[in-house]
Structure 1
Amino acid sequence: MSRDIAQANSTPLTAELFQASVYKPNQGRIVRQITALAIWIVVALGCWRLYSSLGGWLESGSYLIPGIPAVLLAVGAWVGFRLVNWPRFADFLIAVEAEMNKVTWPSKDELIRASIVVIFTIFFLAISLFFFDVVWQSFFNFIGVTS
């Protein structure tokens, strides 16, 4: 059994691209769906950008203007789907979801108190740095380093 797992984890991505199976379909589902969605959004934005810039390179009315981005969009969507089902990456995403389920999230009151502390600390540090800057600037002006 461990030999099958080791063999699945050593499968190269290029071999996985030509399969349609879903690796461990009931594990790490949410993280894998969000990751696939993020990959698809990046691919779609890249294809949209390519589509909008191809008009200047190719003659107007050419079938290549929508065709090239459409093919790249389809290939990118398939690669994104296969990537989240690649055993090495899928096992990582499954482990990420398992760790996220172990996290103890703060309550609303704890979150508000912690946010107030962070905002006050940042404000205090910003004022302190401003005064240090004013003091050092006046010191360097006094000794003639800056004008």
Structure 2
Amino acid sequence: MPLLPIYKKKQGQVVRWTAFLTFVALWLFATYRCFGSFPEWEWTSTVYMEGIVIPLIDYSLPVVTPKLLVSLGIGLLLIIMSAYFCFLSQRTSDFLIDTESEMRKVSWPTMKEVVKSSTVVIIAIIILALYLFVVDIGFDSIFQRVF
């Protein structure tokens, strides 16, 4: 028996893992941004290949600092919380399971239907934009004459 049993282990796996991996990616990016915006890149030398200049980059991770440890600690805490909410919390797991079951019921359009619908929408927007342009020019000329 596992240390922490996953709530309804066989249900909603796709949505749960997708949500968890998305949270992990966001938390890792947030941790990186919290530690420091962009690292200092040092241009060490340049390689010339058949007229193409390729600069070489030397990047070294700074020594472990309290700022790095705090950033990593917060990131790890948030990843653990994401795992808890995606796999162990009953309310969140039920929501994700219901989301996946509803998404399986959706009737997805074919590519041909998407192209036709998008074409209709784009043409309607162009016609509406032209109509509003003409009305705007008309009102502008009326107001120019009156005022």
1:104 aligns with 2:88: no
Point out where structure 1 has 5 or more consecutive residues left out of the alignment: 1-18
TM-superposition CA deviations, 1:8-33 (whole Å, max 9, x none): xxxxxxxxxxx733111111111111
When structure 1 is superposed on structure 2, of 84-93 and 134-143 the one drifting more is 134-143
Structural RMSD (CA): 2.1
Pick the aligned partner of 2:74 from 72, 75, 86: 72
Q: Which residue of 1 aligns with 2:127?
A: 124
Greater share of helix residues, 1 or 2?
1
Report the identity percentage: 28
Deviation (angstroms), 1:99: 0.7
Paired letter, 1:45? F
Matched residue count: 121
Establish whether residue 133 from structure 1 lines up as the match of residue 136 from structure 2: yes
Q: For 1:84, what is the secondary structure of its paired residue?
A: helix
Distance 1:84 1:37 in 2: 10
How far residue 62 of structure 1 moved from its aligned partner, in angstroms, is 6.3
- Between structures 1 and 2, the one with greater strand share: 2
Question: Structure 2: where are the runs of 5+ without partners?
Answer: 40-61
The alignment partner of 1:128 has SS state of helix
Aligned letter for 1:66?
L
Structure 1 stretches of 4+ with a deviation exceeding 6 A read none
- d(CA) in 2 for partners of 1:40, 1:102: 28
Aligned counterpart for 2:85 among listed residues 83, 94, 99: 83
CA change 1:38–1:138 in 2 (3 A) is: farther
Measure the CA separation in 1 of the matches of 2:64 and 2:142: 67
**CA positional deviation for 1:65:** 2.4
Q: Does 1:25 align with 2:9?
A: yes
